[in-house]
Structure 1
Amino acid sequence: MRRPDGELEEEKVFKDPVHRYIHVRDELIWDLIGTKEFQRLRRIRQLGTTYVTFHGAEHTRFNHSLGVYEIMRRMVENLEKKGKWDADERLVCLASALLHDVGHGPFSHSFEKIFHMDHEKWTREIILGDTEINSVLRRMDDDFPLKVADVIAKTYDNKLLVSLISSQIDADRMDYLLRDAFYTGVSYGQFDMERILRVMRADEDQAVFKHSGMHAVEDYIMSRYQMYWQVYFHPVTRSAEVILSKILHRAKELLAQDYAFKLTPHHFLSMFNGKVTLRDYLKMDESVILFYFQEWEEEEDSILKDLCSRFMHRHLFKYVECDPSKQMVIWQELRDLYQKIGLDPDYYLVIDSSSDLPYDFYRAGEKDERVPIHLLMPDGKLRELSRESDLVESISGKKRTDHKLYYPKDLLMDQTEFPEEKQRIMALLVNQEG
């Protein structure tokens, strides 16, 4: 039963391993969760290919989106108690938190890079398009979907609201750090979220934090730093991403050559030709991708067949450290040797780079400019976090980049053909780090 004020007659509760319970009392939120576009997130993993490295990382965008909603619900509740929140904005905020990732494709960021897509753009398309989500949002009023889409686009007038969902310390990051740490079984992502929520205060354009809670914020920053390098950028996960990318590039290349697939990639056709409709996009999830990969293990094309088998059965590429800016001569020799032994270097010799900037100051006009975290001092003034924290100051503005060279060691160790060339390749690879 539902009440005239938009609240459910009885609160709905989801059991959650990270937040214990997720509470839903608004009809709007409950109906959004039930839409087919939101339910699609059950079929998209939160961490893409990370499950091949950390076997517990099977959680989904559905789990995470509910978690972000719950953190946001608690943030809003706390700010309402302090008299620092406009009640009319409450449902805009909660709906935006719930829907912030609804535009993710299968294997998330890997998929985006391969097809040059932006999940935030697709999120806005789903919110504003001919979807069940749009129909539910329009029950509030005709402008409500646009308000939610503007929050996702970071163009909404209420900058405080935007900062709660997208900033250097927001509901999204808080949930994915805690959730990803839980499901991967690591301790790096743990921090005192309860303390952070207690010391959070509303400023005009962003959330700020009482100076007395600085150490909890420091812990959060360092947790994020560790999670990126120990989990998100793990080299084995990146090996799986490299193979995933190469499979789709190979399928696209074969399609352009009019190759006769045993199983035509119907679901990919619009993506390969750059004419993706919203309907096409919403049909894509990880079960579809894995179905094709399994079927393509039987294809005649040796590269597509081999790469799909590697991905499906976790027969991944090995890796060495490398610095592409200093080793171009070695890189060219490796490519020439690959050609001699019949291995296509475009598919079997891959440099992958990862980089992260754990915390930064505001740098006006620069790409990906970041609004800093501010502390509320005892005298009522605001002070940027790194000016008070030696720990945060030590990593501020420092971008760390890591390069790995991936290759199929098993094929190179097979000495039945081209033994001299293969020995030379392995010698060059072993010496890459130096």
Structure 2
Amino acid sequence: MAYKDEQLREEKVFKDPVHRYIHVKDRVIWDLIGAMEFQRLRRIKQLGTSFFTFHGAEHSRFNHSLGVYEIVRRILANFEGKPYWNPNERLLCLAAALLHDLGHGPFSHSFEKVFKLDHEDFTKKIIVGDTEINHILRRVEPDFPQKVAEVINKTYHDKLVVSLISSQIDADRMDYLQRDAYFTGVSYGHFDMERILRVMRPVDDQVVIKSSGMHAVEDYIMSRYQMYWQVYFHPVSRSAEVILSKILHRVKDLYLSGYTFRFQPIHFLSFFEGEVSLQDYIRLDEPIVSYYFQAWTDESDEILSDLCVRFTNRKLFKYVEFNPNAQMEEWMVLHRLFEQVGMDPKYYLVVDSSSDLPYDFYRPGEEGERLPIYLQKPNNELEELSRTSDIVESISGKKRTDHKLYFPSDFIEALSDDQPEKKQIMDLLGIARN
């Protein structure tokens, strides 16, 4: 029997708090799960710094990746025998679902921004490079790794396959909304996934929804909207992310300036120098980064030490609402005052912005244009969701943006009352005096 068709003698089952059970019967999928690059995802949190706000949010990208695989497995079981679906794409879909987050680094997006990296690029490198994952995929077919990478990169020729992993109603979103809601303890992310899976239909180049399932999709979109603003963009989590980002910036700046570390950042050297090998990237995970942060609490550089103490012991920055269009003059005054009292504004006065577009329809030629969700009517005609749903129409194409100004209120409060800058800073930031 060919490797791609090989089945396990006995089905493997993972107990899962979201989907109850995750079923694995294909030998290829079981081998991929056991590969070192996939096991690494156990050491990358799904929600980055959100555990500072929601103490249960310690789940990993390993959990999530298994969940996305399971949802796709269930979708494909429903697609069997339906028009437009090519059963020969089954294993490709399952592998792409399982491996779609393979390239995430420690604390994901903050880490990427500081070092100008792209996790999707590293996902592709792990899949097509000299890795255990690649060796397994090549046993299926010599070009199978490239096909998997193309699905994840959204360049694969069969757009129906791509839409299962990446669209406005895909397995990725359906898993992380429910999983993140479960582990954060909030109710916003819950929706009737089983109903959505039953009304999904394959068409020529994407998945559509049977019109009778519209209300389940409305619930899903509103769940996503709420999760972004109540969980993913929570200002306390963002405060921790700001400090994390500033630690990495400070370490990089110190290294490039020739600073002598008490605890050398060996695992970061290639990142500082902009020459990150695949092996350097794979071996850096969150436990290692957290170990460095703990060690750097004793560094002689006061800024690095302070930031690491704050992150390690959850001594986070406070925040106020900030309008960059109307308050830049106040920000410039604050910038000058912080310098005068010895607080480096580069690290201690930080504007952070969050934005989200919960749903959009096709807008030809616009940057980031998105394929919409289509409803399939009883006569098989397709209609874009927001044309039928008043709820979805009310939020379609409406991008919401939020800005916060973060600062160390403890430093400000510790300033001497004799310093005239203290009152000015507190007044500008709206800090109440005791």
TM class by shorter-chain length? Answer: over 0.9
Give the whole-Å Cα distance in 2 for the aligned partners of 1:8 and 1:40: 24
Secondary structure at 2:284 match in 1: coil
The percent of aligned pairs where both chains have the same amino acid is: 67
The answer as to 2:110 corresponding to 1:91 is no
Residue pair 1:3, 1:9 contacting (<8 A) in 2 also: no
- Where does residue 40 of structure 2 map in the other structure? 40
- Where does residue 24 of structure 2 map in the other structure? 24
Secondary structure at 2:163 match in 1: helix
- Where does residue 67 of structure 1 map in the other structure? 67
Give the whole-Å Cα distance in 1 for the aligned partners of 2:431 and 2:91: 57
Residue pair 1:218, 1:392 contacting (<8 A) in 2 also: yes
Deviations 1:10-62 (A, max 9, x none): 00000000000000000000000000000000000000000000000000000
Structure 1 residues 4 and 342 mapped into 2: Cα distance closer, same or farther (>3 Å)?
closer
Q: TM-score scaled to structure 2, two decimals?
A: 0.97
Residue pair 1:341, 1:418 contacting (<8 A) in 2 also: no
Cα deviation for residue 266 of structure 1 reads: 1.1
The answer as to 2:175 corresponding to 1:175 is yes
Deviations 1:226-271 (A, max 9, x none): 0000000000000000000000000011011100000111111111
Give the whole-Å Cα distance in 2 for the aligned partners of 1:252 and 1:76: 46
The answer as to 2:403 corresponding to 1:403 is yes
Secondary structure at 2:140 match in 1: coil
The answer as to 2:334 corresponding to 1:303 is no
Give the whole-Å Cα distance in 1 for the aligned partners of 2:80 and 2:430: 60
The answer as to 2:359 corresponding to 1:359 is yes
Give the whole-Å Cα distance in 1 for the aligned partners of 2:171 and 2:418: 55
> In the alignment, residue 25 of structure 2 is paired with which amino acid?
R
Is there any run of 5+ residues in structure 2 with no aligned partner, and where?
none
Give the whole-Å Cα distance in 1 for the aligned partners of 2:118 and 2:251: 21
Secondary structure at 2:395 match in 1: coil
Give the whole-Å Cα distance in 2 for the aligned partners of 1:418 and 1:14: 63
Residue pair 1:211, 1:376 contacting (<8 A) in 2 also: yes
Alignment of 1:332-411 (within 5 A): 332-411=332-411
> In the alignment, residue 145 of structure 2 is paired with which amino acid?
P
Deviations 1:317-351 (A, max 9, x none): 00000101211111111011111100000000000
Deviations 1:88-107 (A, max 9, x none): 11100000000000000001
- Where does residue 219 of structure 2 map in the other structure? 219
Residue pair 1:322, 1:405 contacting (<8 A) in 2 also: yes
Residue pair 1:240, 1:311 contacting (<8 A) in 2 also: yes
Report the count of equivalent residues.
Answer: 432
> In the alignment, residue 163 of structure 2 is paired with which amino acid?
S
- Where does residue 312 of structure 1 map in the other structure? 312
Cα deviation for residue 80 of structure 1 reads: 0.9
Cα deviation for residue 82 of structure 1 reads: 3.1
Deviations 1:156-200 (A, max 9, x none): 011000001000000000000000000000000000000000000
Indicate the RMSD between aligned Cα atoms, in angstroms.
1.5
Give the whole-Å Cα distance in 2 for the aligned partners of 1:108 and 1:421: 37
Give the whole-Å Cα distance in 1 for the aligned partners of 2:418 and 2:150: 59
- Where does residue 185 of structure 2 map in the other structure? 185
Deviations 1:365-384 (A, max 9, x none): 22221000000011210000
Query: Bigger CA drift: 364-373 or 250-259?
Result: 364-373
Residue pair 1:214, 1:375 contacting (<8 A) in 2 also: yes
Residue pair 2:322, 2:403 contacting (<8 A) in 1 also: yes
Residue pair 1:100, 1:123 contacting (<8 A) in 2 also: yes
Is there any run of 5+ residues in structure 1 with no aligned partner, and where?
none
- Where does residue 149 of structure 2 map in the other structure? 149
Structure 1 residues 431 and 297 mapped into 2: Cα distance closer, same or farther (>3 Å)?
closer
Residue pair 2:83, 2:203 contacting (<8 A) in 1 also: no
Secondary structure at 1:351 match in 2: strand
Residue pair 1:10, 1:25 contacting (<8 A) in 2 also: yes
> In the alignment, residue 383 of structure 2 is paired with which amino acid?
R
> In the alignment, residue 45 of structure 1 is paired with which amino acid?
K
- Where does residue 290 of structure 2 map in the other structure? 290
Query: Bigger CA drift: 39-48 or 101-110?
Result: 101-110
The answer as to 2:208 corresponding to 1:208 is yes
Deviations 1:186-225 (A, max 9, x none): 0000000000000000110100001100000000000000
Give the whole-Å Cα distance in 1 for the aligned partners of 2:216 and 2:267: 46
Alignment of 1:226-245 (within 5 A): 226-245=226-245
Alignment of 1:415-430 (within 5 A): 415-416=415-416, 419-430=419-430
The answer as to 2:263 corresponding to 1:254 is no
Give the whole-Å Cα distance in 1 for the aligned partners of 2:393 and 2:106: 37
